[in-house]
């Protein structure tokens, strides 16, 4: 199969790129395009050219797998230069996504016709690189400097309507964009319009302060990342220098960034997410359809989960026996959708459809025609067992039951049911309708059909769904528990919350351990601790700083005070009363506080998690390191530019990890710090979690 074909339609030459799955600009595509352009130039019957794509999308960018390998000729910028230099007008026909090198290619065409559902963007910065083929100097000539900065440094694609408004697209088509582009080319010929080269357009005027403002903005929104700042540099150069010089500068910066550790980590994150969301042996064809869902329990989690289904167009029966709780849940859902309409996120018709698809009830019977029911009641084995039995009694024999438990044993929950093969876990994260991560849990007796169904469902709900095994806290919370333990131990040993949080934020987490606790509610953390006291070590039980803070009625952001105090705008400040409480607590318990370095804080937080991750892999609770990295990137704010905990572990090296873990064992005991056998084996053999 040829990656690029070219046919004549009347006097319009239609060049089609066909390089599944996403028409990436691989070497065969670049060479094919160059050849097709040469043919078109020399062919007298060709008066205009349309560049279109086969399959589901326009060119979605460079082939990311080729990054880091020696570049093969021709370079994309050479191909784009040839297209732009064409004496005959060239029209891009864009459907699906025109991303990265794909949008750069389209910007090199003289005109762009877009499908009304198309997405256009320069997401390179999300991969730690920048557009390397003239994307920024061309985009700012078409759409202005501000828009170019937003798209390139911000990395978010825009829709067809916005592209038209910004001057990036010339026309849009409701259907058959290729036919519309051919018609557009014919009109150009009829009107005597020729090539319109983007590089020849004047650079729009802009205030010099705009760059510094953008730099500051991206320093906040993309903290610690190099690529967005490099985009600002290239935009500045594009305004100050010739087109050719700015393209050359962009290429130089691209080459420097593509080899950087950040780009390697971000590329890893891209592929890890695609691997993790496709567990082995669960083909999508085996998934049962979910036409109607049930949710039992209308607290915060149940309400959020119900919205996940409604947002995906799946009708929901919401069961809650407490009338007040049910009414409050329906009100929350209604308010969320009204707010979405007010903010222009959804139309009134969508609001009506979603609200109309919700059936609130106090009875279990209406669950009878649901294909899947999610249980989201109080986290208590006895309560959950009873609720699951009531659900099963009212369900069709083939319908599935998913529990949203965050740490109870799913196998024990399923044990008393008649059809344990239909029972799975779906661990949503709060707020469920917003958080991307979904830990799907395979029970010992869950059927492959049940598992394939929840994986397919996760995708339909727009989640990053990762399959995990039964374990206390599954993958994410189990690793977090290790970090949490160390954070509290460090408070009694000598650190303060603001120091621990600063270190975690400087590493790249959006917030630190104690900010997170305050956000989620200290009563939640306290209840969780109380329910687990029998499983905690004597030192963990004795480490009661949280108990003392909660006893003062400080429950976190919701009460205006927790580890920090908050004003009415939820602005956080350090509270000396908390520092005193921590120091007094240590004195009373005879602990001599010492200075704890930032380096120690970071190591103890990260290495405790990594070691647990290694155990999780050995036990098969996670099947692959990619699963763990994906969970931490999407559910816990692990900085994407560091690739995830297991990728980061490889950067540190197993030998160093084992050495530091032994060091902390010498201080705190092997009970907390024993290198996982997998790490020891890696240290011995020189391996890592990923092949080098
Ligand atoms: N290079 C290589 N493979 C790619 C790819 C790319 N640019 N984009 C997608 N793929 C692969 C995926 O890995 C996946 O492969 P498997 O089926 O083997 O897992 C397959 O294509 C389908 O991808 P998705 O599962 O993501 O499909 P989707 O329909 O959900 O999304 C998409 C499609 C919106 C195009 C999405 O894949 C995407 O955002 N891709 C990345 C786009 C991007 O970042 N482009 C810029 C690249 S950098 C660049 O272009 C700079 C330059 O020129 C030098």
Rounded Cα distance, 374 and 405, in Å: 10
Rounded Cα distance, 384 and 390, in Å: 10
Q: For ligand 1, what atom is nearest to the CA of residue 21? A: 21
Q: How confident is the model at residue 387 (pLDDT cuts 50, 70, 90)?
A: very high
Q: For ligand 1, what atom is nearest to the CA of residue 131? A: 51
Percentage above 70 pLDDT, the chain = 100
- Range with lowest mean pLDDT among 446-455, 526-535, 563-572, 652-661: 526-535
Q: How confident is the model at residue 528 (pLDDT cuts 50, 70, 90)?
A: confident
Closest C-alpha among 488, 438, 440 to residue 463: 438
Q: Which of 17, 19, 22 to mutate to test the pocket of ligand 1 (most atoms within 8 A of CB)?
A: 22
Query: 60 in ligand 1 pocket by Cβ < 6 Å?
Result: yes
pLDDT at 238 over 90: yes
Mean pLDDT to the nearest integer, 447-472: 96
CB-CB contact of 438 with 458 (8 Å) = yes
pLDDT of residue 553: 97
Q: How confident is the model at residue 379 (pLDDT cuts 50, 70, 90)?
A: confident
CB-CB contact of 438 with 402 (8 Å) = no
Q: For ligand 1, what atom is nearest to the CA of residue 258? A: 54
What percentage of the chain's residues is helix, strand, coil (to nearest 5)? 55, 10, 35
Query: 396 in ligand 1 pocket by Cβ < 6 Å?
Result: no
Take residue 659 and report the two structure tokens written for it. 């050495």
Report the DSSP beta bridge partners of residue 112: 92
Instruction: Clarify whether 104 is annotated catalytic.
Output: yes
pTM of the model: 0.92
DSSP state of 259: T
Mean pLDDT to the nearest integer, 489-496: 97
Taking CA atoms only, the protein residue closest to ligand 1 atom 21 is: 21
Take residue 31 and report the two structure tokens written for it. 């060479």
Take residue 275 and report the two structure tokens written for it. 């691997």
Percentage above 90 pLDDT, the chain = 94
Instruction: Clarify whether 124 is annotated catalytic.
Output: yes
DSSP state of 371: S
Take residue 290 and report the two structure tokens written for it. 């979910």
């Amino acid at each position: 199969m040829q990656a690029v074909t070219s046919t004549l339609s009347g006097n319009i030459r239609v060049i089609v790129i066909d390089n599944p799955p996403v028409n990436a600009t691989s070497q065969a595509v670049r060479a094919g395009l160059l050849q097709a352009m040469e043919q078109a130039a020399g062919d007298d019957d060709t008066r205009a050219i349309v560049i279109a794509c086969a399959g589901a999308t326009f060119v979605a960018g460079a082939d990311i797998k080729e990054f880091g390998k020696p570049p093969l000729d021709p370079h994309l910028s050479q191909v784009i230069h040839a297209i732009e230099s064409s004496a005959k007008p060239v029209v891009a026909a864009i459907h699906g996504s025109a991303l990265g090198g794909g949008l750069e290619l389209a910007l090199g065409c003289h005109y762009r016709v877009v499908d009304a559902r198309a997405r256009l963007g320069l997401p390179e910065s999300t991969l730690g690189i920048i557009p390397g083929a003239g994307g920024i100097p061309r985009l700012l000539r078409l759409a202005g400097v501000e828009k170019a900065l937003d798209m390139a440094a911000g990395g978010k694609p825009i829709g067809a309507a916005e592209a038209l408004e910004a001057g990036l697209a010339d026309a849009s088509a409701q259907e058959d964009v290729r036919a519309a582009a051919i018609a557009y080319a014919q009109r150009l010929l009829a009107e005597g319009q020729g090539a319109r080269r983007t590089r020849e357009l004047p650079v729009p005027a802009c205030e010099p302060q705009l760059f510094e403002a953008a730099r500051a903005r991206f320093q906040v929104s993309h903290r610690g990342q190099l690529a967005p700042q490099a985009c600002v540099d290239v935009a500045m150069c594009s305004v100050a220098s010739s087109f050719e010089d700015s393209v050359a500068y962009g290429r130089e910066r691209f080459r420097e960034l593509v080899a950087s550790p950040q780009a390697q980590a971000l590329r890893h994150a891209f592929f890890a997410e695609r691997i993790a969301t496709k567990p082995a042996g669960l083909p999508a064809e085996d998934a049962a359809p979910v036409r109607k869902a049930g949710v039992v329990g209308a607290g915060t989690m149940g309400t959020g989960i119900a919205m996940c289904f409604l947002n995906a167009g799946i009708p929901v029966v919401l069961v809650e026996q407490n009338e007040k709780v049910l009414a409050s849940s329906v009100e929350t859902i209604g308010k969320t959708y009204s707010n979405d309409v007010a903010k222009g996120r959804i139309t009134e018709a969508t609001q009506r459809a979603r609200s109309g698809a919700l059936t609130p009830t106090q009875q279990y019977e209406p669950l009878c025609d649901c294909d899947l029911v999610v249980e989201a009641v109080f986290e208590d084995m006895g309560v959950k067992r009873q609720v699951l039995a009531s659900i099963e009694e009212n369900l069709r024999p083939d319908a599935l039951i998913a529990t949203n438990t965050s740490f109870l044993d799913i196998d024990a929950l399923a044990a008393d049911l008649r059809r344990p093969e239909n029972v799975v876990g779906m661990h949503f994260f709060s707020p469920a309708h917003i958080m991307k991560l979904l830990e799907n849990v395979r029970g010992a007796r869950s059927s492959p059909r049940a598992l394939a169904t929840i994986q397919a469902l996760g995708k339909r709900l727009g989640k990053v769904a990762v399959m995990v095994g039964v374990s206390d806290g599954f993958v994410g919370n189990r690793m977090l528990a290790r970090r949490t333990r160390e954070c509290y131990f460090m408070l009694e040993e000598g650190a303060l919350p603001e120091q621990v949080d600063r270190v975690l934020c400087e590493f790249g987490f959006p917030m630190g351990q104690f900010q997170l606790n305050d956000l989620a509610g200290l009563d939640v953390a306290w209840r969780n601790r109380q329910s687990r006291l029998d499983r905690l070590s004597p030192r963990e039980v004795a480490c009661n700083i949280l108990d003392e803070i909660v006893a003062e009625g400080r429950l976190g952001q919701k009460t205006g005070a927790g580890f920090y105090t908050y004003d009415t705008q939820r602005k956080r400040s350090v509270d000396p009363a908390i520092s005193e409480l921590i120091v007094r607590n240590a004195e009373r318990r005879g602990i001599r506080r010492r200075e704890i370095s930032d380096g120690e804080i970071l190591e103890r937080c990260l290495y405790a998690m990594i070691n647990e991750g290694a155990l999780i892999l050995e036990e098969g609770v996670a099947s692959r390191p990619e699963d763990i990295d994906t969970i931490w990137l999407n559910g816990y704010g692990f900085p994407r530019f560091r690739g995830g905990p297991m990728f980061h572990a490889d950067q540190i090296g197993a030998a160093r990890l084992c050495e530091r873990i032994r060091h902390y064992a010498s201080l705190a005991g092997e009970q907390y710090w024993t290198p996982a056998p997998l790490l020891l084996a890696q240290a011995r053999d020189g391996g890592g979690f990923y092949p080098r």
